[in-house]
Amino acid sequence: MNFSKVEYEDVRIPVPWGYISGRWYGNRNRRPILALHGWMDNLGTWDLLLPHLPKHIGILAIDFPGHGQSSHLPQGMQYHVIDYVTAVMHIIKEYNWKKVSLMGHSLGSIVIYLYTALYPSTVDLIVNIDLVKQAFRKADNEINRYESTFIKRLSDITEFKKNEPKSYDFKTLENIVHETSSRSVNIENCKYLLYRSITKSQTSPDKYYFSRDKRIKYYEPFTTTYEVTLELNKRIQNIPYFVIKGLKSSFLNEDSSEMLKVLRENNPHFEYYEIDGTHHLHINNAEEVSKYLNPFLNRRYPAELSSWCIDDNNEDARSKL
């Protein structure tokens, strides 16, 4: 099952617990933009946007650990957003990049924000789709979350199943993705998030089951204070930074307004746009997103450099990139 309309090469990036699965789309002669998907999604999230992006740009899209076709963390371990930041660092090390260009949606945007704030000198371009940072939670909500998710985690860790998970026909799976995304993903586009997250049933013909790691449902967010977040924001300066929000989404709201203000005030290269759409606007409204994103990419990632071969150890080549 494959829906991509852009030429790509499948890649596997070795990590201590297995591998990170990805696809390198388009230009292979230049360091690509590293694309990071949202929670419970996978690299299929980019399938509808990629055909609308500038042809000279390469995109390396990956499945986060536990998502898509990437290795799951070892049994007994739990997922934390910092694990995904570490995954980015493994990829950078594997390709020996001195700089990294980053594009993310939702959870991917949070990972980009944290990585960039910690290592700003290594980032030369950021694209965030409908999220920037983890939301602040009220104390009682945070305590209730811990109380419920710890029990669910323990149940999933100790549960041993000899049989494969429950399977469904493809139409039912599309409805599950549609409903669990709060109907953010249009039903006709759900297939793009399914083909890397399901496996054909061995016991029920024409049915499939979710093969992503069920522990990702209870991943631990990066919980911090307002003061720490402000300081993280101040570390992101002079980096071309593009943010686009769907007007029907609540993921960028009053909670984010002051943080966005700090990013804008400290960074002359910060751009923010709002268009019609849900949280998954890059899937449902891909062409409209590209109308705002492409001018940004063409300014920051010009076509005339696309023929230069990446060699991070070569000063001449680096000066042209």
Q: What CATH number does the domain containing 286 carry? A: 3.40.50.1820
Domain boundary among 218, 241, 273: 218
Q: How many CB atoms lie within 10 A of CB 150?
A: 12
| 3 within a domain of the structure (yes/no) | no
Same-domain status, 94 and 14 = yes
The chain-wide mean pLDDT, for the chain, equals 87
Same-domain status, 14 and 94 = yes
| 252 within a domain of the structure (yes/no) | yes
Percent of the chain with pLDDT over 90: 65
Q: Using CA atoms, how far apart are residues 53 and 224, in angstroms rounded to an integer? A: 35
Q: Which two tokens stand for residue 119?
A: 């290592």
| 1 within a domain of the structure (yes/no) | no
Same-domain status, 44 and 118 = yes
Q: Using CA atoms, how far apart are residues 53 and 6, in angstroms rounded to an integer? A: 10
Domain boundary among 163, 197, 218: 218
Domain tally, the chain: 2
Model pLDDT, residue 228: 84
Same-domain status, 119 and 154 = no
Domain boundary among 200, 218, 236: 218
Q: Are 28 and 58 in contact (CB under 8 A)?
A: yes
Model pLDDT, residue 77: 84
Residue 107 parent element (H or E): helix 107-118
Q: Which two tokens stand for residue 290?
A: 């590209």
Q: Which pTM was predicted?
A: 0.89
Beta-carbon-side half-sphere exposure of residue 177 (alpha carbons within 13 Å)? 28
| 66 within a domain of the structure (yes/no) | yes
Domain encompassing residue 199: 145-218
Same-domain status, 121 and 266 = yes
pLDDT level of residue 183 (50, 70, 90 thresholds): very high
Same-domain status, 129 and 149 = no
Model pLDDT, residue 259: 78
| 85 within a domain of the structure (yes/no) | yes
Q: Using CA atoms, how far apart are residues 188 and 170, in angstroms rounded to an integer? A: 12
Model pLDDT, residue 148: 67
Same-domain status, 78 and 36 = yes
Same-domain status, 28 and 120 = yes
Same-domain status, 21 and 167 = no
Model pLDDT, residue 286: 98
pLDDT tens, position by position, 47-67: 999 999 999 999 999 999 999
- 2 pLDDT above the threshold of 70: no
Q: Which two tokens stand for residue 242?
A: 């593009």
Model pLDDT, residue 320: 34
Same-domain status, 199 and 288 = no
| 37 within a domain of the structure (yes/no) | yes
Q: Indicate the SS3 state at residue 165.
A: coil
Same-domain status, 82 and 205 = no
**Tokens 């990013």 appear where?**
263
Compute the average pLDDT of residues 114-141. 85
Same-domain status, 18 and 156 = no
